[in-house]
Structure 1
Amino acid sequence: MKQISILGCGWLGFPLAKKLIERGNSINGSTTSENKLPILEEAEINPFLVTLESEGVSESIKEFLAESEILIIDIPPKLRGKNADDANSTQKIFVEKIENLIPFIEKSNIQKLLFVSSTSVYGDENGIITEETIPNPETESGKQLLLAEALLQKNQNFETTILRFGGLIGEDRHPVKFLAGKENLENPDAPVNLIHQNDCIEIIEAIIHQSKWNEFFNAVAPFHPSRQEYYTQKAKEHNLILPKFSAEKSNIKKIISSEKIENILNYKFKMENY
């Protein structure tokens, strides 16, 4: 049995915690909402109210990390800082949160760390994207994540694996719901790069079980129809208004490769066509 702390028991972290408990692990789980504490406790997750701010970290972080050997960080960068008009400010605030967290990790028993990141760190590159591709983020969240990755990876007090997920999808979360009925959508011929929540959980568990640390992994299902083909079909399946794409809009043909995960972890994606 392993003692694991999951910082961020949200859409992915909560079901991940439950799955890891099923596999015999003890889980400390954090939330920023007091209302969620009893929900975590009911799921047999040791609940902690933990907040990360640019000014500091809540005192509960010490107990949250205590006795755990593995830390999973699954918190998205917030795109609004104190000065919403200052892009550098929003970026700095997220990085400062990670900087404030690191000393507590160093003083704890954490030996291994898994940081949930995103393939947005690669930007809109054309062609096949592997872990050897040099990141070139264009979005603010991508820039924040890349800086956070670097902070954690270079720290010699613990071993860090970076896991870059593609577009997240699940039974209660599908991007077609946001695209339905919209017009003049860009990149009709661009391949989709998605991953199901179930695969996210299984991959994280495989990394922990196989002790694959000090690694970078891209995680996207090997299923890449065009945006127009895929979202048109999904809109029909969900009885939604069909999205309309513009052939005149830019066409980025980026395919995220997950061959490393398939080879190193011997992982076969469970949810390929969804």
Structure 2
Amino acid sequence: MSKTIGVLGCGWLGQPLAQSLVLKGHQVKGSTTSTDKFKVLENLGISPYHIKLTEEKVEGNITSFLQELEVLIVNIPPGLRKTGNGSFIKRIEMLLRHVEDSKIDNVLFVSSTSVYGAVEGDITEETNPNPITNSGKQLAQIEKLLLANKRFDTTIIRFGGLIGPNRHPINHLAGRTGLTNGCELINLIHLDDCILMIETILNEAYWGSIFNGVYPYHPTKKDYYTREAEKRGLDAPQFIKTEQTIFKKTIKSHLFYVKSHQLLTTIVS
């Protein structure tokens, strides 16, 4: 069934997601912080809006953007590495003031597995978060804020490390030496799988839920990145042995196992 969907944040993930939703027959509004991107979005069938969240206000015509939306997908990275000690929580709180005044029924918030922080072992959606980074701590608080809001139903999707076109860790690991995390396990997901998982949530109306988004393939970083370097003709990164206790965690995704016959295998192709 066709829906009117808003994608707040048409970046590396948001733009191809919005494009895929348009191709599936949905009416899609997409936000960007740069008006230079309007023509690109329009050519993809996406109605473009200039929206920017700050800690004091929401810049742009947020009321028009939210009008008539049935689903809002919030896909904005915290960006705390660039803003230092800025508050992503306050920016989302500013957004929520407008969402609460709209007729939106469902919100999908793109979060991160960084909320699990120092938790080790097999991690499922039932595992309690224990974030250690500023970004992870703020994401965990925002998740609670959204799930507690009774005005709309929220689903959280916690993606692992994102890979895809023009984005892969091997591009900055190639040729490096003295790396000490070779025995840790990878918890990655490809862009195509991110999109398919989000579309599955929309199609199946999986609201009021939390899902991990990690492909079920967890070799060590040393093995995985060595193979990825060889595939690309790059110098393999060099990992050193360490006497320290190895930090290992395997993030499991319920949605991957339930819908495994539909999902892609791009991480190992």
TM-score (norm 2): 0.95
* Pairing partner for 2:250 from 245, 252, 255: 255
Q: Please identify, of 137-146 and 215-224, the stretch whose mean Cα deviation from structure 2 is larger.
A: 137-146
Q: Please identify, of 184-193 and 206-215, the stretch whose mean Cα deviation from structure 2 is larger.
A: 184-193
- Residue in structure 2 matched with residue 273 of structure 1 by the alignment: 268
Decide whether the 8 Å contact of 1:125 with 1:252 is kept in 2.
no
* Pairing partner for 2:185 from 191, 200, 215: 191
Mapping of residues 194-209 of structure 1, within 5 Å:
194-209=188-203
CA distance in 2: counterparts of 1:11 and 1:168, whole angstroms: 10
Aligned residue for 1:108, secondary structure, equals coil
- Residue in structure 2 matched with residue 223 of structure 1 by the alignment: 217
In structure 1, the gaps of 5 or more residues are none
Mapping of residues 58-69 of structure 1, within 5 Å:
58-69=59-70
TM-aligned CA deviation for residue 126 of structure 1: 1.8
CA distance in 1: counterparts of 2:228 and 2:128, whole angstroms: 33
CA distance in 1: counterparts of 2:72 and 2:97, whole angstroms: 14
- Residue in structure 2 matched with residue 115 of structure 1 by the alignment: 109
TM-aligned CA deviation for residue 206 of structure 1: 0.5
Aligned residue for 1:157, secondary structure, equals coil
TM-aligned CA deviation for residue 164 of structure 1: 0.3
Mapping of residues 1-274 of structure 1, within 5 Å:
1-80=2-81, 84=84, 89-90=85-86, 93-248=87-242, 251-258=246-253, 260-265=254-259, 268-271=262-265, 272-274=267-269
Cα distance change, pair 101–196 in 1 and its aligned pair in 2 (3 A): same
TM-score (norm 1): 0.93
CA distance in 2: counterparts of 1:170 and 1:80, whole angstroms: 22
Decide whether the 8 Å contact of 1:121 with 1:135 is kept in 2.
yes
CA distance in 1: counterparts of 2:64 and 2:19, whole angstroms: 20
Deviations 1:214-273 (A, max 9, x none): 000001111111100000111111111211112215521110001x11355566430241
Decide whether the 8 Å contact of 2:214 with 2:251 is kept in 1.
yes
TM-aligned CA deviation for residue 205 of structure 1: 0.4
Deviations 1:39-82 (A, max 9, x none): 11111100000010001102411101100010000000021576
CA distance in 1: counterparts of 2:76 and 2:165, whole angstroms: 21
Decide whether the 8 Å contact of 1:187 with 1:250 is kept in 2.
no
Cα distance change, pair 55–80 in 1 and its aligned pair in 2 (3 A): farther
Aligned residue for 2:239, secondary structure, equals coil
Cα distance change, pair 235–266 in 1 and its aligned pair in 2 (3 A): closer
Decide whether the 8 Å contact of 1:116 with 1:162 is kept in 2.
yes
Deviations 1:107-151 (A, max 9, x none): 111110000001111013221000111101112221121111111
Decide whether the 8 Å contact of 1:69 with 1:110 is kept in 2.
yes
CA distance in 1: counterparts of 2:81 and 2:227, whole angstroms: 34
Aligned residue for 1:107, secondary structure, equals coil
Cα distance change, pair 156–140 in 1 and its aligned pair in 2 (3 A): same
Cα distance change, pair 110–264 in 1 and its aligned pair in 2 (3 A): farther
Decide whether the 8 Å contact of 2:183 with 2:221 is kept in 1.
yes
Q: Please identify, of 262-271 and 138-147, the stretch whose mean Cα deviation from structure 2 is larger.
A: 262-271
Q: Please identify, of 169-178 and 96-105, the stretch whose mean Cα deviation from structure 2 is larger.
A: 169-178
CA distance in 1: counterparts of 2:217 and 2:120, whole angstroms: 17
